[in-house]
Structure 1
Amino acid sequence: MALKPAYSGQLLPLHSSTPPQPGKIETIPHTLEFFLDYVCPFSAKQFKTFYEDVVPLVKSKYQSPGVRVIFRQQIQPWHPSSTLVHEAGAAVLKLAPAKFWDFSAALFEKQNEYFDVNVVHESRNQTYKRLAKLAGDTTGVDENKYYELLEISDQPGPDGSLNTGNKVTDDVKYMTKTNRLVGVHVTPTVLFDGWTEGSISSSWSKDDWASWLEKNLK
């Protein structure tokens, strides 16, 4: 599935030394798409193994024919904070797209700070402020500018609307609709060349991935 240029930071830079640039997407014959939720423990497990152990293998052994790796943000509504943390990812895509994967790694590492028990007694904007601090520490973005993208006003909109959203609401809508087009519902889900690859498990080790890559990326 195509990747909108505005979200090119979701593409992991595997085939060049330069970070991904907005509007520029590499042409590679194979594509792996990871549909992950930042507050899903199984997503965190799969991301950590792939990002830390498998990416170096791909870079060293599979530059040709190559594979594109895309992080698809998948909101799961049974985790109420899922929307908030994915809005945080969308804000990084706007301000520092080349740091999206670094931010994702940091957010997965601290995901339990955004589990139900740890957000139930704070307001939505208070959660955003914590996410802004994490983004600032991880990516170097200006925390105030970042928070401005997420903050929800307590005042009605100019037309009297009470569902005013924030400055990444349209991004969340686009991502959610895009994921629904391919019928993804739960995380983690992995697509390979557009098809659900049901054999890939969140419990896979580096060796499991190495065997799969050898079979599918010859």
Structure 2
Amino acid sequence: MKHLLIILIIALALTWYCQLVSTQTEMKTIQNEECKVCQQRTVDEFFLSPPRDTRFYKFTFPADPDLAADLVWMKTAYYYGIIDISKPEDFFYLPFLLSTITDLAPEWKFPYFFGSYTLLFEANMEKQGLKFIEKGMASLPELWELWLMKGYYFIKYKKDFKQAALIFAEASTKQRAPKYLAALSVSLALKGNERSLAEQLAKIFQATINDKNITRRIAEKFK
């Protein structure tokens, strides 16, 4: 039995090594005058890709996949720290790392917050960012912050104020969501020349929100 276990571990190690070699790509040198250690290094010199298949972690950490997620998160934090945000190619591995973490710990909130913002607004990875947000929404549907990020996605990338208004309206109904999202959804509907939608949303909010300041602000938008 021990010999079989050793053989399996060696096989996994070899598989991982082959993956590491196959995923390395040549990137430009990162220059950082304030970080002497970082000078004359490339992203790839700092980065060795974790295994692509999460079954590796479930075999290695069968009782605690959250620990594996923590380890990959530490790798992600280190990798992010040496990224030059002015170079989009430096973000190449980030979607994979974030996907691995959230596969292992699907209810861990922070990677979704970090990943959705970074992929959309720093890396400008439109498709990957939206896909990652929707993955988080599927795992944590009551997390209003992810609805907020999806709404901003439609504002920034699609200029679709109607869709953003509907998303913010839904976000306002989530647990612990700030009620100003309701007023914001009405504003976006008006900005998108969707007055009938704005009136419909306002009518719903006036009947369901107990905060007089918010309902007053919504009413003032139609004056």
* TM-score, reference length from structure 1: 0.24
Greater helix share, 1 or 2?
2
Which structure is higher in RCO with an 8 Å CA cutoff and minimum separation 6?
A: 1
TM value normalised by structure 2: 0.24
- When you count strand as a share of all residues, which structure comes out higher? 1
